[in-house]
Structure 1
Amino acid sequence: VTVTETKDGQEAPAPAEKVKSKAIKGEIPTPTADGADQTVTVEVTYADGTKEDATVTIAYGEAKDAYAPEGQQVDVNKGEDPSAEAGIKNKDDLPEGTTYDWKTPVDTDTPGETTGTIVVTYPDGSKEEVEVTVNVVDTTPQATDTELYTAQGGVVNKPYGQTATNDEVIGVVTTDAPAEKIQSIVVVDAIPTTGQNQPVNVKVTYADGSNDTVIVTVNYGLATDAYDPAGQAITVDKGSQPNAADGIANKADLPANTTYGWTAPVDTSTPGTTSGTVVVTYPDGSTDQITVDVIVNDNRTDAEKYTPEGQEVNVNKGETPNPEDGIRNKDDLPEDTKYEWKTPVDTDKPGETPGIIVVTYPDGTTEEVEVKVNVTDPRTDADKYDPETKPEIIKPGENPDLTDNVTNLDDLPEGTQIKDITPEGTIDPNKPGEYEGTLEIQYPDGSKETVTVKVTVEKPASTVTPVNNQQNTQTNKVTKVTTSGPKTGDFTNLGVHTAAAIGSIATLAGLFFARKRRKVDEEQ
């Protein structure tokens, strides 16, 4: 690939520093059978990072320019067509797929030497010619002893268990040649020891060296005619397949390498007596079939017979789950099967926990099944949580906002709503004194509870002589209210507002906040 640039209207090779790299894209093509030119793409990357593809043409040469076939003499019988391929000595050096033909037919009518031209055609279609000598041989055949005489094989029959001998095989070969014309008769193959119609090649060689091969057939009697297998009952466990060989009582009397199998698998799914047919296969391939009794016993333990299936068990927090509830298929298990936990299940905390059920069968065998125990807390949110409030201090004429007086909002579940349900007229904002407001706490699960809030309406500033400016921050843990009058106010989302109020000396001296009775919570 040559890279050029144009300067002053003239193209010249580009400086080497202008070309960063040249890379072949894909594979370099190999020559095709027709010898056609091949192309390959080269990617040129310039110094500034730009790229350009260039096409390179690969012109492969013709096969005739790469190879040199060598001729050799071809011998052929008078009147026959010589093989063109036989006239090339170095065919193995030429490419696969090369063909050879005579340029013109070779005249083989006259014995002696003549010439012929072989056209060698390569896979790419290129050709070249090679001139060779063709030797035409005039052969007037003379009859050999094999052609003059005829040999024939015979049949050897042997009972099962006996083997045909070399002399017995040769003894059944016949020929019409006189004894002096027979040089030898030899068994060529190994003599088989079993089977029917087994061929054995025998070579007859005559005095002139010519030979003929004949076939002697050897027949052996069948083992099934020579043996009588005796059946016997088989005892087998339920679900197991019995050994067919165990159903034959006199295996020691049968020939070595005899095999045993069932005509069909024996059904042992039901205890009791059934039957099966044993196929006795002898080494010669012949067979006998014997029907035998199969006694099916069920010796499995209950643990082996049954498979308990576990399932999830639901239980309330703090309660003991029933292990029997953890087995899905109790009806499939035997009567009087017992179920117990391997170790006590911890149900102190809600959530999933594992448990292992020990299944004890009537026969005393056991097996273990691991199950999930889902521990749930049945209490409502109102039972679980204790909202705490702080007092509300307002000046005369101000309206109290009690919905932000719950101090432990972060401890309550998200979505909890607070509503001021203080009955109208309960708090007189124009009359100094202490009052009690009521809040309704509504939880996400729909449960509710009410708490009280101490409300103090301060005396007018002109009638009070302050003693100190101490801020009242005591938390009022209010008692739940079980009754309520007309409700005022709206539900509001949880919010925390810090309220600080400076009370008068008299108010601070007499203010004791009611504490909400705490519920007993096993969780906390």
Structure 2
Amino acid sequence: PDGTKFEYKTPVDTTTPGDKDATVVVTYPDGSKDEVPVKVTVTDPRTDADKNTPTPKEQSVNVGETPDPKKSIGNVGDLPDGTKFEYKTPVDTTTPGDKDATVVVTYPDGSKDEVPVTVKVVTPNMPAPSTPNMPAPATPSTDADKNTPVAKDQTVNKGETPNAKDSIGNVGDLPNGTKFEYKTPVDTTTPGVKDATVVVTYPDGSMDEVPVKVTVADNSAQASDSTSAKKEEAKELPNTGTEAHAGLATLGLLGALSGFGLLSRKKKED
């Protein structure tokens, strides 16, 4: 009806994105009410470029080789799936030296970041002919020599088991089939920042050990608040308007019984 009013029973939390449960109180002109459970979807208006910060990473290539722009970003594993990488202009690898370049990071929503990076162009190691019977300098041969895993902080709740892979920030740069495990289990029985070591095992069997930190959060207070909230919610059942209808039905029944009583008395007097 005209004049009907609408309000949320409690304010909707829009500080974080997601589907939020809420209740709309509908108040009619005669003062009666309905309560309607609804959902409000809260979206993040920021672009992928606003939400992410790609970090530069130095890479080395031989003279004449073409560098991979993805390998010039140190935290590829933190960026959204489908993110693309390209150099703004081709990197000159015709001569050795440190070459400045810019990687254009294009996110799935079309937004972009430009990251200044450095590409080191080196001359391949060659044996020295003037020194007979001397072996040529060793060149990187194992996966561990060719890759540099980067530590990444992660947070888990007290009692949870952290994932060693989540403690490495550039998983996307490492070879397929690389395995990750903690050197010793992380103690999550007490809250705090815990030092740990991730053992990165490459497909060729070579290994790297990466010192990392795992923050163990104390979730006991959060669980207590959640339990209290559920108890309060259980006390207050939603009003769907059935109370008003039940009251009207009760009044109608009492009226009918009163009418039958008066009719019976009149017949008796007659």
* TM-score range normalised by the length of the shorter chain: 0.3 to 0.5
Which structure is larger by alpha-carbon Rg, 1 or 2? 1
Give the structure with the larger strand fraction.
1
Q: What is the TM-score when the length of structure 2 is the normalising length?
A: 0.41
Give the structure with the larger helix fraction.
2
